[in-house]
Chain A
Amino acid sequence: AQTVTQSQPEMSVQEAETVTLSCTYDTSESDYYLFWYKQPPSRQMILVIRQEAYKQQNATENRFSVNFQKAAKSFSLKISDSQLGDAAMYFCAYRSSNFGNEKLTFGTGTRLTIIP
């Protein structure tokens, strides 16, 4: 079974600075998807960024980028120019690419605080 580990329960960063959230996973599969989701306080969980394992290029969405190291089974999220609105719980998640296997396996989350 796949497992996802987020070893940082809490992180903080000064506004406008850069922060990196860590995620490692364990799988025997060669093709899969990885996700970062954001859950702001009392608000809906939303997708931040997605990476397909067969793509070597790291995914980027505006100020959010990932460092995907397939051999090391590492998938970190970098947030540049941190803003107050980035304060949230961030969850890393894994999904097999096998057709019909639609489940996501989540990590335990990292609470990110932005210091004004």
Chain B
Amino acid sequence: DVKVTQSSRYLVKRTGEKVFLECVQDMDHENMFWYRQDPGLGLRLIYFSYDVKMKEKGDIPEGYSVSREKKERFSLILESASTNQTSMYLCASSSKEKLAKGTQYFGPGTRLLVL
């Protein structure tokens, strides 16, 4: 089974702090994704990565950056946390293999509160 883990389930930070959210997958997937989930808005893509050291902006990249130095690890960075970044953050991974049909596997999520 695919396992996607995230470094924290709950996180409380102060406005202006630099925040690191980490995601690790154990299935050698090429693709990794960061979403934020807000009530009534569904999941919105922040950034994604097709390969090591590759990154692409999603729909709402402002205020975020990412890092992918190793294939299994994808980090989301909030350079200077703001209260409007309080949200649930979900990491996902998927295989490029055609047979996988792009199915994404999700981590348990990190609920971030910025005070």
Contact = CB atoms under 8 A, between A and B. Distances in A.
A33 B102 contact: yes
Contact of B31 (A45, A102, A107): A102
Nearest to B49: A102
Nearest to B106: A45
B90 to A, nearest CB: 7
Given A9-B40, A44-B108, A104 B102 contact: yes
Given A33-B102, A100-B50, A45 B90 contact: yes
Contacts of A43: 108
Nearest to A52: B101
Given A44-B108, A47-B103, A102 B94 contact: yes
Interface in B57-111: 58, 90, 92, 94, 96, 98, 101-109
A35 B98 CA distance: 16
B19 interface: no
Interface residues of B, number: 26
Nearest to A100: B50
Contacts of A33: 101-102
A37 B90 CA distance: 13
Given A102-B94, A103-B45, A95 B40 contact: no
A106 interface: yes
A36 to B, nearest CB: 12
A106 B96 CA distance: 20
Given A6-B42, A108-B41, 13 more contacts: A9-B40, A37-B106, A44-B106, A44-B109, A45-B106, A91-B42, A95-B101, A99-B98, A102-B96, A103-B48, A106-B42, A107-B42, A109-B42
